[in-house]
Amino acid sequence: MFHSRALVPAEHRSNFLHLYFDIAWFGVLNGSFIAFSAVYLTRVGATARQLSLFGALPALVALVAALPAGYWLKNRRLDKTVFWSAALYRVYYLAWLPIITLIPAAFQTNSVLLLTFIMSGPATILAIGFNSLFAELVPPEWRNHVIGIRHALLAIASILSALLCGYILDNTAFLMGYQIVFGLAAFCGVMSSVHLWFIRLPEAPNRRIKHAPYLKEPGQPDAFPASGQARPPFGWRYLRRRRQLRLPRLSILRGDFGRAMAVLGFFFVALYVPNALYYPYWVGELGYSDQLISFGQALFYVCQFLSASQLARIATWLGDRRSLALGAVLLAAYPGFTAIWPAPAGYLLSSAFSGIGWGIAGGAILTYLLRLVPADERPRYMSWYSLLTNLAILIGSLLGPLFGDWLGLRLGLGTAGIIRFLAGLIILWFGANVGVDTADDDDEGADDELSGEFAA
């Protein structure tokens, strides 16, 4: 499934190893904190609107900060900047412990929302910087290999962590159980950051990030998802203060990159619409236990792992665009099946289909995107990607509660499933064709042995 370790060039082995450990620790964090934070907020009384803000605030901040962060990063060493932004941001997980322990339940959700807003700044820098760092560290011919292993490690660690945390939460007192789960997440955030410290960029001339004179030309390694609202006081004023920088031109969005941004934007809207409705429906209306939710999470990651391990073959067969479309269609099962079949079996089946879908779509997004971005223009293109996808995330997150209010939770989830299905069709019909979009093309190491997904 993967290349032999002996074939990995010596100059890349250490960095690849730390990239693997980074994602393994993050996988434990994913199966603990990320899997159960919204469950906890639901159990202490968070509304669908508050849950939508919980998902939307990082996108809101990123909309303001993505472009200036992308250009700020150009004058800094990516490896060190990524480490320090990760170390600062992962204080976020530690801060949950005093919130759930010391603050009355009625005020905890608003406290979490404030904390999320504050810490979304370093999260934006981390997301942008890590994407650029990854592109700098991993040559194109090794990307699918490294991405595939990271995806597999993320899935395995998430599976084990979700099952362990579900058991802990079902067999300990409510508060103590969540203190253990969130404490584990905080520890894993520290360990993930430690491995980022050991990642080193090669000191080759072509690895140096030069300062580009104009923001209007796209360029350099930077940005992934960050979200926010374009509020002039910070974002645009920052750009104007730099005499050599100008606001980016919309010409970046012409052609294939613009088409890709349009279909990916709709995909991210569709992806986030149901997020605020899941737990009020599963926990509030259907009464799912933490252990059942952990089984669903684990099944999701098992299926994600299996599909991600075959992503190279799928991408070679279908191409990146059609692979992404297939993944989006399968992701419609998560909201759709639980709306049609609310029994635990329906929830587990939806988890399986969605895990397969995310294993394909999650890997195809980055490879699809990187084929459209000039290697020497990454940061500006990726800043636009970050800006527009986070705008889509914000829109999707805020639409979810409206669907719940207008249609009810169950019908709202069913409608979200239809929108996800449509997103897959839109990617298939209108997405830009890229280098490898047929099995006959051979580009950038789209080898049958490779496998891939980027999970930060």
Instruction: Return the closest-CA partner of residue 336 out of 400, 415, 422.
Output: 415
- 357: tokens are 């879908």
> How far apart, in whole angstroms, are the C-alpha atoms of residue 94 and residue 164?
19
pLDDT for position 234: 26
* Assigned superfamily of 13-202+252-430: MFS general substrate transporter like domains (1.20.1250.20)
pLDDT of amino acid 221: 27
* Average of per-residue pLDDT across 375-379: 70
User: What is the model's pLDDT at position 138?
Assistant: 86
Q: Which residue has the tokens 């012409």?
A: 254
Confidence band, pLDDT 50/70/90 cuts, at residue 434: low
Distance CA 338, CA 336 (A): 6
Nearest 10 degrees: CA dihedral of 354, 358, 364, 370?
140
**Residue-level pLDDT at 249:** 58
pLDDT for residue 300: 92
pLDDT surpassing 90 at residue 176: yes
* Greatest alpha-carbon span in the chain: 61
Instruction: Calculate what percentage of the chain has a pLDDT beyond 70.
Output: 82
pLDDT category, 204, cuts 50, 70, 90?
A: low
Decide if pLDDT at 366 tops 70.
yes
**Separation CA 69–CA 82 (nearest Å):** 12
Position 223 scores a pLDDT of 29
**Confidence at residue 435, expressed as pLDDT on a 0 to 100 scale:** 52
Q: What's the CA gap between 395 and 456, in Å, rounded?
A: 22
Contact status, residue 70 vs residue 386, Cβ threshold 8 Å: yes
Among 84-88, 257-261, 330-334, 412-416, which stretch is predicted with the lowest mean pLDDT?
257-261
pLDDT at 450: 27
Q: Which of 121-125, 233-237, 388-392 has the lowest mean pLDDT?
A: 233-237
- Other Cβ atoms closer than 10 A to 387: 26
- Judged against a pLDDT cut of 80, whether residue 6 lies above it is answered with no
What is the pLDDT averaged over residues 217-221?
27
pLDDT computed for residue 377 by the predictor: 72
pLDDT of residue 229 exceeding 70, the answer is no
> Residue 383 pLDDT more than 60?
yes
- Reading the block at residue 408, the tokens are 């009810």
Query: For the chain, which residues make up each domain, given as ranges?
Result: 13-202+252-430
Residues in the chain: 456
What the block records as the tokens of 104 is 């009355």
- AA letter at 386: S
Mean pLDDT of the chain: 80
Helices 311-318, 140-171: crossing angle, 10 deg rounding? 130
Contacts for 370-374: CB closer than 8 Å, 24+ residues apart:
370/135, 370/140, 370/143, 371/320, 371/434, 371/435, 371/436, 371/443, 371/444, 372/256, 372/257, 372/260, 372/432, 372/434, 373/218, 373/257, 374/218, 374/219
Mean pLDDT across 392-421: 94
Phi, psi of 343 (to 5 degrees): -65, 160
CA distance 222 to 132: 4
Residue 231 pLDDT > 50: no
User: What would the pLDDT profile of 44-65 be if each residue is shown by its tens digit?
Assistant: 999 999 999 998 898 888 888 8
294, pLDDT greater than 70: yes
3-state class (DSSP) for residue 243: coil
Q: Over 210-231, what HEC string results?
A: CCCCCCCCCCCCCCCCCEECCC
pLDDT surpassing 50 at residue 187: yes
Nearest alpha-carbon partner for 248 in 384, 403, 133: 384
For residue 427, the model assigns a pLDDT of 94
Q: Where are the beta strands (DSSP E) in 133-203?
A: none
Tokens of 174: 């409510």
Average pLDDT over residues 319-341: 93
Q: Which residues on adjacent β-strands are paired with residue 283? A: none
**What is the rounded average pLDDT of the residues 117-141?**
85
Mean pLDDT of the region 353-374: 86
More confident site: 248 or 275: 275
- CA angle, 206 then 208 then 212, to 5°: 105
pLDDT in tens, 8-49: 777 788 889 999 999 999 999 999 998 899 999 999 999 999
Q: Is the pLDDT of residue 242 over 70?
A: no
| Angstrom distances, CA of residue 4 to CA of 1, 252, 452 | 9, 39, 15
d(CA 387, CA 18): 28
Question: For residues 362 and 455, what is the distance between their CA atoms, to the nearest angstrom?
Answer: 8
| CA–CA gap between residue 298 and residue 290 (Å, rounded) | 12
